[in-house]
Amino acid sequence: MKNKAPFILLTPGLILLIVFMFLPLVTIIWPTFYDGKLTFGSYLSFFQDNYNLSVFWRTLRVSLIVTLICILLGVPTAYYIARTSKKWRGLMMAMSLFPLLTNSVIRSFAWINILGTNGVINDFLMKLGIITEPIKMLYTDSAIVVGSVYLFLPLMIITLVGVIENIDLEMVEAAETLGANRLTAFMKVVLPLSLPGIIVGSILVFSGTLSAYTTPQLLGGNQNMMLSTFLYQNAMTLGNWQSAGVIALIMIVTTIIVMKLFNMIAAKFDKRGGEHA
Amino acid sequence: MRKQRGLSIISMLVFAFLIIPMIIIVVTSFGENPSIQFPIQGFTFDWYLNVFETNSLIQSFFLSIQISMIATILALLVGIPAAYALARYSVKGRDILKSFFLSPAMIPGVVIGYALFQFIVIQFQMPIFQGLLLGHFLISLPYIIRVVGSSLEQLDFSIEEVAWTLGCTRVRAFVKIVLPNIQAGIFASFMLAFINSFNNIPVSQFLSGPGVTALPTSLMNYIEYNYDPTVSALSVLLMVGTVILMYIIEKTLGLASIS
């Protein structure tokens, strides 16, 4: 009886996951390796095509830039929130959570209004007479970067606040008392201690940007495809299911590799911290 | 605490960056001009009326509520027992099992959406509604496993054993002792999974058909063909919904429980 209980409790979930996730994944990925015999041809030819490669590299480049910007803006903001009085902290956390709980279509739509040809920025600059022709900002890689930072920065901030709140502020004060200026204290004490949070946040932001569909679709347009929009186009517009399967596996594998890499970086920094101590 | 000017300036700029785009949407929803502009000319509620008169949007709103509700409840029914088994018993290969249950969150949404589209709609010719429901069930499950799992890990199971000793059946002890002790976690995971499912785009994008289109997909289609303040008005209504949900969460669990 005692041995059967966990089995009974786990089985419904396992069956649903195997039948409706695992099998469907096999259905789309198996044909990319097998056409009468086992072959890697689909993958070789995918990476030999310049256009495919440009989509692949754009996806990685955009995800990396977005992650770096989110770290640069997220760490100081999270530190600021964590050190603010309780009353304001609640409001600031709510202000960071609100965008996160708002639909990503709405959040991308906001940037169409701002970056578009007749958008807020072009309108403003033309009224001031700084420019005479609207600048093309929408449907560029930069638009995807801005939209993705907008999408994922709150995630980085919230992840980091949780970690930084647990850092003993007396350590920062001790560093300052011992003669470190604020910047040094921040770099030498706060930053190393928030590293686990930065790593978790970076994994969330990077894999989120890598697989986001709405932002590249609405802000990148057809000229600036990312893997997710490229998969959709191949599957639903072109009906090229072989390519769609190839892109699907590339997305899964890339996500896994990136996670491993970030964890390796974290482990390396941990060791260095140990040597100092 | 000493003031740190550089830090405050960066943080204020970040908050401005997060909030201003939302404010622009709110303002443009009241403009009289049929194309979106900022600052607006005139003042009207017409676009809000237009939201309620656009059938495709209203229909998708109710479909999305329905899908997210059923999918999240299904995920609770399947997820709570699984999370309990993983926390309570030393099952063989527990870590692998747990990663498997969390894996829908690791796989890109477009991949899950496309795989379900191929499997359910193309191969088995099942209705799109079922596919959409299953897709949303899959993306909701990891939230339940993670949040309910962490409340179970903090639970002292000896109180359940006491109930057994006192003659309670296993099921009765679970319902009367375990469930009430993890109800905050269940509610938090329900809220998270529901909001995430309601806002999901990548899975829904592949699983849409005549009369079966989730709200975000409808909204996306609408933006591609008409660029008018109706979208702003609907966005404002959805933001009001988000604020109400946040208020409910804050009053019941505290926002910290979902962040």
Rg (CA), chain A: 23
Residues of chain B with Cβ-Cβ distance to A125 below 8 Å are none
Structure tokens at B18: 């997060």
pLDDT at residue B192 tops 70? yes
> Which among B82, B119, B205 is the nearest to A23, CB-wise?
B119
Contact A145, A69 (CB under 8 A): yes
Is residue A54 situated within a structural domain?
A: yes
| Confidence check: pLDDT of B120 > 70 | yes
Answer whether B246 sits within 8 Å of A16, measured CB to CB. Answer: no
A105 touches chain B (CB under 8 A): yes
The arithmetic mean of pLDDT across residues B142-166, rounded, is 92
* Secondary structure (3-state) at B209: strand
Q: Closest Cα of chain A to B232: distance in Å?
A: 8
Let me know if residue A12 belongs to a domain: no
Domain shared by B185 and B117, yes or no: yes
Distance CA A248, CA A210 (A): 12
Question: CA-CA distance, B130 to A24, in Å (whole number)?
Answer: 14
Please, what is the Cα angle at A106 between B213 and B248, to 5 degrees? 90
**B145 occurs within a structural domain:** yes
Whether B20 and B132 map to the same domain: the answer is no
Please give the angle made by the CA atoms of A75, A77 and A81, to the nearest 5 degrees. 115
Q: What is the structure's pLDDT at B4?
A: 72
Q: Kindly tell me if the per-residue pLDDT of A62 is higher than 80.
A: yes
Q: Looking at the predicted structure, is the pLDDT value of residue A273 above 60?
A: no
Q: Is the pLDDT of residue B1 over 50?
A: no
Please choose, from the candidates B189, B194, B192, B188, the residue with its C-alpha nearest in 3D space to the C-alpha of residue B65. Answer: B194
Measured between alpha carbons, how far is residue A105 from residues A166, A258, B93 in Å? 34, 26, 40
More confident residue, A111 or A167: A111
Q: How far apart are CA A82 and CA A235, in angstroms?
A: 45
The mean pLDDT value of chain A amounts to: 90
Whether residue B137 and residue A16 make contact (CB cut-off 8 A), yes or no, is yes
Query: Are B40 and B118 members of one domain?
Result: no
A13 domain-assigned? no
The distance of A38 to chain B (nearest Cα, Å) reads 21
In a domain, B40, yes or no: yes
User: For the residues B131-145, what does the mean pLDDT come to?
Assistant: 96
Q: How many domains does chain A have?
A: 1
Dihedral class, residue A76 (left if φ above 0, else alpha if ψ from -120 to 50, else beta): alpha
Phi, psi angle pair for B13, to nearest 5°: -65, -40
Check CB contact of A76 with chain B, cutoff 8 Å: yes
Highest mean pLDDT among A3-17, A65-79, A181-195: A65-79
Closest residue to B223, CB basis, from A12, A109, A228: A109
Q: Do A103 and B238 touch (CB under 8 A)?
A: yes
Q: Is A125 part of any domain?
A: yes
Q: Which of the listed ranges A37-41, A118-122, A147-151 does the model predict with the highest average pLDDT?
A: A147-151
Q: Is residue A27 part of a domain?
A: no
d(CA A151, CA A223): 21
Residue B50 lies in a domain: no
CB contact under 8 Å between A235 and B117, yes or no, is yes
Task: For CA atoms B60, B61, B62, B65, give the dihedral sign.
Answer: positive
Which chain B residues are within 8 Å of A235, Cβ to Cβ?
114, 117, 206
Q: Is A132 on the interface with B (CB under 8 A)?
A: no
What is the average pLDDT across A79-103? 90
Q: How confident is the model at residue A43 (pLDDT cuts 50, 70, 90)?
A: very high
Other Cβ atoms less than 10 A from the Cβ of B69: the count is 15
Q: Are residues B34 and B144 in the same domain?
A: no
Residue B241 lies in a domain: yes
Complex ipTM: 0.91
* For range A135-148, the mean pLDDT: 94
Q: Does B190 lie in the same domain as B84?
A: yes
pLDDT band at residue A2 under the 50/70/90 scheme: low
Q: Tell me chain B's radius of gyration from C-alpha atoms.
A: 22
pLDDT of residue A77: 95
Asked if pLDDT for residue A275 goes beyond 70, the answer is no
pLDDT at A136 over 80: yes
Residue A158 lies in a domain: yes
pLDDT higher than 50, residue B100? yes
Distance from CA of B135 to the nearest CA of A (A): 8
Q: What is the pLDDT of residue A271?
A: 61
Q: Domain count of chain B?
A: 2
Domain limits for position B12 = 1-44
Scanning every residue of chain B, which has its alpha carbon at the shortest distance from the alpha carbon of A230?
Answer: B110
Burial label, A213 (beta-carbon count in 10 A; 0-12, 13-18, 19+)? buried
The domain of A176 spans 42-276
User: Per the domain annotation, does B150 fall within a domain?
Assistant: yes
Same domain, B223 and B167: yes
Weakest-pLDDT range from B88-102, B135-149, B190-204: B88-102
Q: Are residues B12 and B133 in the same domain?
A: no
**Residue A1 located in a structural domain:** no
Number of Cβ within 10 Å of residue A179's Cβ equals 8
Q: How many CB pairs under 8 A join A and B?
A: 234
pLDDT in tens, A217-236: 999 988 899 999 999 999 99
B163 in the same domain as B198: yes
Query: What percent of chain A is modeled with pLDDT above 90?
Result: 65
Tell me what the mean pLDDT of segment B35-45 comes to: 86
Q: In which residue are the tokens 């009053």 written?
A: B251
Q: For B212, list phi and psi in degrees, rounded to 5.
A: -120, 80
Name the more confident of B254 and A65. A65
Q: How far is A211 from chain B (nearest CA, A)?
A: 5
Specify whether B36 is located in the same domain as B80: no
pLDDT the model gives residue A243: 94
Q: Which CATH number does the domain housing residue B245 bear?
A: 1.10.3720.10
Are B71 and B186 members of one domain? yes
Q: Please give the average per-residue pLDDT across B156-160, as a whole number.
A: 89
CB atoms B115 and A21 under 8 Å: yes
Report d(CA B10, CA B6) in Å as an integer: 6
Return the sign of the alpha-carbon dihedral for residues B120, B122, B123, B127: positive
pLDDT digits (tens, 9 = 90+) for A233-262: 999 999 999 999 999 999 999 999 999 999
Residue B49 lies inside a defined structural domain of this protein: no
Summarize the confidence of residues A206-225 as an average pLDDT.
93
Mean pLDDT of A60-66: 97
Q: What is the pLDDT of residues B207-259, one digit of tens each?
A: 998 889 999 999 999 998 888 899 999 999 999 999 999 999 888 887 777 76
Q: Within this chain, do residues B8 and B94 fall inside the same structural domain, yes or no?
A: no
- Domain membership of residue A71 (yes or no) is yes
Yes or no: say if B154 and B257 are a contact pair by the CB < 8 Å rule: no
| Residue among A58, A133, A144 at smallest CA distance from A107 | A144
CATH (domain of A146): 1.10.3720.10
What average pLDDT does the structure give for chain B? 91
Q: Are residues B63 and B147 in the same domain?
A: yes
